[in-house]
A and B are shown apart, each in its own frame.
Chain A
Amino acid sequence: MNFSVLTSQFWSLCLSGISLGLIYVLISLGYTMVYGVLRLINFANSEIFMVGTFATVWVETGLTGHTSGSSPIHGFQLIYTLLFALVVAMLSSGITALAVEFFAYRRLRAKGTNRLASLISAIGMSIVLSESARILTHSRPQANPRLLEKSSLGHFAGANFRVDTVLVVVSALLMFIALDRFVNKSRLGKAIRAVSMSEENAKLMGINLNRVISVTFLIGGLMTGAASFFFMTVYETTKFNVGFNLGLAAFTAAVLGGIGNLRGAFFGGISLGLLETMSAAVLGSQWKSVTVFVVLVLVLLVRPNGIFGEAIQQTRV
């Protein structure tokens, strides 16, 4: 155990953990939104994330012609390139999520099949997307050029506030707050919550079930797409199976916070990011997964519905 690293690097580790955790938060929204409405785990969400990462690479290399040897860009060119990449990543993931809902869930739902069929169908979609990407890319990783120079905005207690980390933290927080308000305040958000609470009663109130479910998938996909853009901005490499570990981590975050609960996903994601970073620093990287899952099992033993569970009923989707 290396506790000495905490004395000099504590705030630096906190910042890294929060940044990673917020990426988990955005991905976990894809799981938690769908679970909230359909009570199903959308296993294809990890591949929805993967699609977003490749879309980011496509924009930042194919469309703008940058390579791994290119110099970072600045000013207005940087802003519109990053914004365009963010929008394309979100739309690609959002459209993929809609396609998953249409092919994997809708017809099965219409036929009234049991949940296991939908679960297998989602796993099937996940494998189709992942293997298609593997074949198309010959299993090779794709590197994203560094368009955003990772310069320092300042230091606090030894932590370096790099521009990419700050971008992730601020943008992800704003996106989460916007989604939270959308679900709680907007007419469509209320419809989503109504379906989440009772499908039958929502139908009786005249809510178009298919439309609400599609919108839920779309929003989850958009958030996951945003996560993929932020991920590529920080880590700059993707591969056909990039979603597997990150998807697993985000799903774990959703369960830790209380799956189906937006604010639970938020706290679950942040907690997981911090836990991973701190355990890797203190115990060694080889103990990271062991620590995370031991903590998850212990939490679920005490609170089977996650840390927040059903406690924040009004924010449940």
Chain B
Amino acid sequence: MNKNSTRVLGAAAAAFLALGTLTATHAQAATTVTLAFQSPLTGDAAQAGQDELAGAKYALAVYNASKPAVKVNLIQVDDQGSGSVAATVAPGVAKNKAVIGVIGSAYSGASANSFPFYIAAGLTMVSPSASRVTLTTPQAPDFGGPVFHRVVGNDSVQGPALARYATKGVTAPAVYLVDDQSPYGAGLAQYTVPGLAKVGAKTVGTDHILPTTGTDWSATTAKVKASGANVVIYCGYDIDAGAFVKSLRDGGYTGIFASGDGSATSSFAKAAGNAAAKDARLTEGDTPFDNVATAAQKKAFTAASGVKVAGGYATNTINATNVFLTCIKQGKTTRAAIATCVNTGKFPNFTGGTFSFESWGDIKGGAPIGAFKLDANGNIVYVGQA
């Protein structure tokens, strides 16, 4: 290599470094970035989305109160909890260059149908509640890696926990298992079956219903009664679970009714009526905000969200939002920088300690499943770990 060529190379290297520094400075100088909150905000599943939105608003309010160098906008993306709707809204989010991360989606089907757009755009997702096992199974066709992460325990954890909690304290449990044929409901039922065998419960019948508004549950109710079941487990969503338990109680069934996180919203008791919903057992991969928050935090939550009492998955949503906010505080304001940060960083857990993600998107060491019970006023009361 001669002197001239060395000079030329040196000049080129200096120019490259200067350009690189300028680019980096420009990226670091971003004073406002945007996060998308994707969830069902209207439709049947809206209550779940609104509950989670309140958690995201609270986390953002706490962040903004710390007077950060980078401001964060939150845009709301309504996928109605539906895969088909998600496939129509996700492209717009992916194209919006201002968006550097997605909190969501709340539902597995909506998450899966968003993956093609977010993977192509390198847009990181952190879901508070999407629990389908295959979303984080690298061999599965609906694997969301490398962009998808979640702070909730998946159905392979929730199914056995639901079986355990539903049959807890029941002598000779005889279980009737019903699912709604949705990917979520059928999936949860699939992981509940081995859990039932493990706790020594006998499965006395199964049914697969496709509920719509106004579904007549009388045939399923009759089968439950004929089977002699003393525990009914429903794997599906809140409003249908409410209609089902109402039909069971009206039909004279007096045993235990249990359901998973799809039913753990206030819509369940609204659809069932407080009397029919009373004592229903629910599981959810979340620790209720009210059980871990201080009085000041509860007050700040209400001020930020306008919601008096935090709903389901509020704590998980705070954790999911804080994943991004932690990275942004560290100066990561591009999609690529966020992706690296989320995959390698440690994040504060609202319930205490920190967490980080496995390479496939689940939380390292697993996430806990909470056990809940409906009181006489239709409130979902936390009773401990399932």
Whether A and B are associated in the same complex: the answer reads yes
Point out residues on A near B: beta carbons under 8 Å: 2, 4-5, 8-9, 12-13, 16-17, 20, 68-69, 138-141, 143, 145-146, 150, 160, 162, 231, 235-239, 241-242, 244-246, 276-278, 280-281, 284-286, 288-289
Residue of A nearest to B222 (CB): A9
B223 interfacial contact with A, CB 8 Å: yes
A69-B377, A236-B246, A286-B208 are known contacts. Are A9 and B223 too (CB-CB below 8 A)? yes
B43 interfacial contact with A, CB 8 Å: yes
Tell me whether A2 and B273 are in contact (CB under 8 A): no
Q: How far is the CA of A235 from the CA of B246 in the complex (A)?
A: 9
In angstroms, how far is the closest chain B Cβ from the Cβ of A129? 16
- Which chain B positions have C-beta within 8 A of A284? 207-208
4 closest pairs, A vs B, by CB? A280-B219, A16-B218, A285-B209, A9-B222
Tell me whether B209 and A281 are in contact (CB under 8 A): no
Residue of A nearest to B276 (CB): A146
B46 interfacial contact with A, CB 8 Å: yes
Contact among A4, A246, A280 with B220 in the assembled complex (CB-CB below 8 Å)? A280
B76 interfacial contact with A, CB 8 Å: no
Which residues of B194-223 are within 8 A (CB) of A?
205, 207-210, 212-214, 216, 218-220, 222-223
B80 interfacial contact with A, CB 8 Å: yes
B239 interfacial contact with A, CB 8 Å: yes
Give 30 A-B contacts (CB < 8 Å), ordered by A residue: A2-B205, A9-B226, A12-B218, A12-B225, A13-B218, A13-B219, A16-B216, A20-B218, A68-B274, A69-B377, A139-B43, A140-B42, A141-B271, A145-B273, A160-B251, A236-B273, A237-B214, A237-B239, A237-B242, A238-B213, A239-B213, A277-B219, A280-B220, A281-B222, A284-B207, A285-B208, A285-B209, A286-B207, A286-B209, A286-B210
Chain B interface size band reads 35 or more
In angstroms, how far is the closest chain B Cβ from the Cβ of A117? 31
B243 interfacial contact with A, CB 8 Å: yes
B269 interfacial contact with A, CB 8 Å: yes
- Which chain A positions have C-beta within 8 A of B209? 280, 285-286
> Interface 1/0s, chain B 242-277, versus A by CB < 8 A?
110010001110000000000000010111011100
- Which chain B positions have C-beta within 8 A of A277? 216, 218-219
- Which chain A positions have C-beta within 8 A of B219? 13, 16, 276-278, 280-281, 285, 288
- Which chain B positions have C-beta within 8 A of A69? 273-274, 377-378
Tell me whether B378 and A68 are in contact (CB under 8 A): yes
Q: How far is the CA of A15 from the CA of B223 in the complex (A)?
A: 15
B44 interfacial contact with A, CB 8 Å: yes
Contact among A20, A68, A239 with B270 in the assembled complex (CB-CB below 8 Å)? A68
Tell me whether B223 and A235 are in contact (CB under 8 A): no
Tell me whether A242 and B225 are in contact (CB under 8 A): no
Q: How far is the CA of A2 from the CA of B176 in the complex (A)?
A: 14
In angstroms, how far is the closest chain B Cβ from the Cβ of A195? 33
Tell me whether A242 and B213 are in contact (CB under 8 A): yes
- Which chain B positions have C-beta within 8 A of A146? 273, 275
A139-B44, A236-B246 are known contacts. Are A245 and B212 too (CB-CB below 8 A)? yes
- Which chain B positions have C-beta within 8 A of A17? 218
A9-B226, A139-B80 are known contacts. Are A276 and B216 too (CB-CB below 8 A)? yes
- Which chain B positions have C-beta within 8 A of A239? 44, 213
Tell me whether B214 and A242 are in contact (CB under 8 A): yes
B181 interfacial contact with A, CB 8 Å: yes
Q: How far is the CA of A63 from the CA of B355 in the complex (A)?
A: 51
Point out residues on B near A: beta carbons under 8 Å: 42-44, 46, 80, 181, 205, 207-210, 212-214, 216, 218-220, 222-223, 225-226, 239, 242-243, 246, 250-252, 267, 269-271, 273-275, 377-378
Tell me whether A68 and B269 are in contact (CB under 8 A): yes
Tell me whether A285 and B207 are in contact (CB under 8 A): yes
In angstroms, how far is the closest chain A Cβ from the Cβ of B157? 27
Tell me whether B213 and A2 are in contact (CB under 8 A): no
Tell me whether A162 and B250 are in contact (CB under 8 A): yes
- Which chain A positions have C-beta within 8 A of B251? 160
Residue of A nearest to B47 (CB): A140
Contact among B43, B208, B214 with A246 in the assembled complex (CB-CB below 8 Å)? B214
Contact among A138, A145, A246, A280 with B46 in the assembled complex (CB-CB below 8 Å)? A138
Residue of A nearest to B178 (CB): A285
Q: How far is the CA of A273 from the CA of B344 in the complex (A)?
A: 58
Tell me whether A231 and B214 are in contact (CB under 8 A): yes
Q: How far is the CA of A235 from the CA of B215 in the complex (A)?
A: 8
In angstroms, how far is the closest chain A Cβ from the Cβ of B311? 15
Q: How far is the CA of A281 from the CA of B378 in the complex (A)?
A: 30
- Which chain B positions have C-beta within 8 A of A280? 209, 219-220
- Which chain B positions have C-beta within 8 A of A20? 216, 218
A4-B226, A68-B270, A285-B208 are known contacts. Are A141 and B216 too (CB-CB below 8 A)? no
Residue of A nearest to B272 (CB): A68
- 5 new A-B pairs (CB below 8 Å) besides A139-B43, A277-B216? A139-B46, A140-B43, A141-B271, A150-B250, A285-B207
Q: How far is the CA of A100 from the CA of B317 in the complex (A)?
A: 46
Residue of B nearest to A69 (CB): B274
Residue of A nearest to B252 (CB): A160
In angstroms, how far is the closest chain B Cβ from the Cβ of A59? 18
In angstroms, how far is the closest chain A Cβ from the Cβ of B342? 32
In angstroms, how far is the closest chain B Cβ from the Cβ of A270? 14
A9-B225, A20-B218, A280-B220 are known contacts. Are A285 and B270 too (CB-CB below 8 A)? no
- Which chain A positions have C-beta within 8 A of B208? 284-286
Tell me whether A8 and B250 are in contact (CB under 8 A): no
In angstroms, how far is the closest chain B Cβ from the Cβ of A254? 18
